[in-house]
Amino acid sequence: MTEKQYAPSKTEKKRTQKVKENLSETNNKGKLENKKEKTEKEISDEKIEDKKNEKKKVEVKKVKKDFAIVNGKNVPVSTKESVAVCKFIMRKEIKKAIEDLNEVLKLKKAVPMKGEIPHRKGKIMAGRFPKRTSEEFIILLKSLGANAIMHEVENPVITEAIANKAQRPFGKGGRVKKKRTHITIIARTKKINEKLREKK
């Protein structure tokens, strides 16, 4: 007797098992692909939600400030001249202060100063035209104006201008000490400035 006649049912069972295994493998692959597609979709949805949340976080209301401030550290300028320029700038609008300092650079307007300094024409007794200090102050005032725009300060007026001595480094050779100053300028809105004056 041949194998086919002896046990035909066993061979058929083996074939059916192989077919079933192949079918199950294809089904599993399809399920895995569907799962991958689902996971990719879920990931994309999560990313979109994260972006929306980030936008919501960015859209948080800013704390509105009533003042704008600028700090100049170790500015290469004489402290005496910077104090005089601070007094010259006080209680002026930022644009007006910049215009006045530009006139100082053109030698049309003198900065009033104390000490044994030559007299100048006009209402002041003694004064000078500090070129370097006025240039540095113009840079600081421009940045102050930008800060005022950022913090939405309307009609900013300079209320505080302070100049203090900074650390003076030695020059080349170690004989001369360089001039350095810390400068802070604060600008507030006109209304707040008037209220502060009334309180005083």
For residues 105 and 115, which has the higher predicted lDDT (pLDDT)?
105
Give me the domain span that covers residue 50: 3-58
Residue 35 main-chain phi, psi, to 5 deg? -65, -45
Other beta carbons within 10 angstroms of residue 91's beta carbon come to 13
Determine the Cα–Cα distance for residues 143 and 44; give it in Å rounded to an integer: 43
Least confident range of 68-72, 79-83, 113-117, 147-151? 113-117
Query: 0.75 cut: is pTM over it?
Result: no
Whether 50 and 108 map to the same domain: the answer is: no
Residue whose structure tokens are 């053109």? 106
pLDDT greater than 70 at residue 101: yes
Same domain, 107 and 184: yes
pLDDT, tens only, 7-41: 556 666 666 676 667 666 666 555 555 555 556 65
114 shares a domain with 40:
no
Q: 28 and 127 share a domain? A: no
Q: What is the CATH number of the domain that holds 105?
A: 3.90.470.10
Number of domains observed in the structure of the chain: 2
The C-alpha atoms of residue 173 and residue 10 are separated, in whole angstroms, by 105
Instruction: Say if residue 106 is in the same domain as residue 191.
Output: yes
Q: How many helices (H) and strands (E) does the chain have?
A: 6, 5
- How many other CB atoms are there within 10 angstroms of residue 157's CB atom? 21
Could you tell me if 43 and 100 lie in one domain?
no
Mark whether 72 and 46 lie in a shared domain.
Answer: no
Domain shared by 31 and 108, yes or no: no
- What tens digit of pLDDT does each residue of 131-149 get? 999 999 999 999 999 999 9
Residues 96 and 141 in one domain: yes
Query: Do 181 and 124 reside in the same domain of the chain?
Result: yes
| Judgement on whether residues 45 and 95 belong to the same structural domain of the protein | no
